Amino acid sequence: MTTVAASATPRRGHRWMRSMTPWWLLSPSLVLLGLFFVAPLLTLFLIGFQYNSLFHVGGWTLHNYGTIFNTGSYRHIAVTTTEIATATMVVQLLFGFPLAYVLAFRAGRWELPVILLLVLADELNPIVRIYAYRVVLGREGIINRGLEAVGLVSRAHPISWLLFDNFAVVVVLSTSYITYTVIPIYAAMKAIDASLIEASTDLGAGWLRRTTRILIPLSAPGIFVAIILVYLPLFTEFATPTLVGGTGSFMLGQLNAELITESGDLGQGAALSALLLVATGLMAGVAYYLGRLNRLET
């Protein structure tokens, strides 16, 4: 009996060590994650509950959150941001879904080169890309010059809404994030058996029925990933609306930057950042749940 008990104890100790091995291997990464991600987030949330501005520092308060929810201009900016972000996401899906389909089923030997071009286009400095669109969309830009050359507009009356308007913000944001929309949908489509599409075509299904009954349901996980990667960050954009948007294109990202860098109101800036984090987290959770639900149904 003593021998059996003695042999069982080392086995239990050996199993415990084996179960702890993954945690020991992960501990350096967990420590770095805690120091440089979790700790700053906690600090952000704490500052959001404090008076922390150029005029008042110290003390705990709910004033920062109350101001954000009760100020009419803040609510208007939130609505404008939602409209621009939603329009941008819809435009990207309208262009990105067909492009992903072509890459997955029709590109052939051009598949990899086109994907590489998409990746390289994303590597371009975003400020350079935004300023390039100012050259294209401006009153003296390439589009207006081209329309003037064919007699559709005059030099005295060019199209003014191409730049410094919601249109310009949507166009620039759509092209800036198109890579992150196409690649997840393309990856989901590559997992679809091409024989399903061929069989539906043989049975007489048109392109609309094939798209709604086969392509969209089976590529839904990729669409949800694209929404997480693209739609959520759009709510924090500030460079694009600042450089190509007008007064009616003021977004939450700009408001946050203005509160922190110009007004020096760290409390309200932190509160707004915390609210954006919570909102994007909830939206990401919903998108993840819908993606899992789709996989379970299929």
What is the C-alpha to C-alpha distance for residues 103 and 129, in angstroms, rounded to an integer? 24
The residue type at 76: H
Judged against a pLDDT cut of 90, whether residue 84 lies above it is answered with yes
Is residue 218 within 8 A of residue 200, CB to CB? The reply is: no
Q: How confident is the model at residue 134 (pLDDT cuts 50, 70, 90)?
A: confident
Specify which of 11-25, 78-92, 144-158, 246-260 reaches the highest per-range mean pLDDT. Answer: 78-92
Judged against a pLDDT cut of 60, whether residue 9 lies above it is answered with no
pLDDT at 88: 94
Q: What angle do CA 224, 226, 231 make, to 5 degrees?
A: 95
Supply the mean pLDDT for the chain.
Answer: 83
Judged against a pLDDT cut of 60, whether residue 7 lies above it is answered with no
The model's pLDDT over 227-258, given as tens digits with 9 standing for 90+, comes to 888 888 898 888 899 999 888 889 998 998 88
pLDDT at 288: 72
Q: How confident is the model at residue 18 (pLDDT cuts 50, 70, 90)?
A: low
pLDDT at 296: 47
Q: Is residue 200 left, alpha or beta, with left meaning phi > 0 and alpha meaning psi from -120 to 50?
A: alpha
Q: How confident is the model at residue 16 (pLDDT cuts 50, 70, 90)?
A: low
The model's pLDDT over 176-208, given as tens digits with 9 standing for 90+, comes to 899 999 999 999 988 888 788 778 877 777 788
Over range 207-220, report the average pLDDT. 83
Over range 146-175, report the average pLDDT. 87
Judged against a pLDDT cut of 60, whether residue 8 lies above it is answered with no
243 alpha-carbon distance from chain centroid: 19
What is the C-alpha to C-alpha distance for residues 79 and 166, in angstroms, rounded to an integer? 13
The model's pLDDT over 40-78, given as tens digits with 9 standing for 90+, comes to 889 888 888 888 776 677 778 888 888 888 888 899 999
Least confident span in 103-107, 266-270, 285-289: 285-289
Share of the chain above pLDDT 90, in %: 18
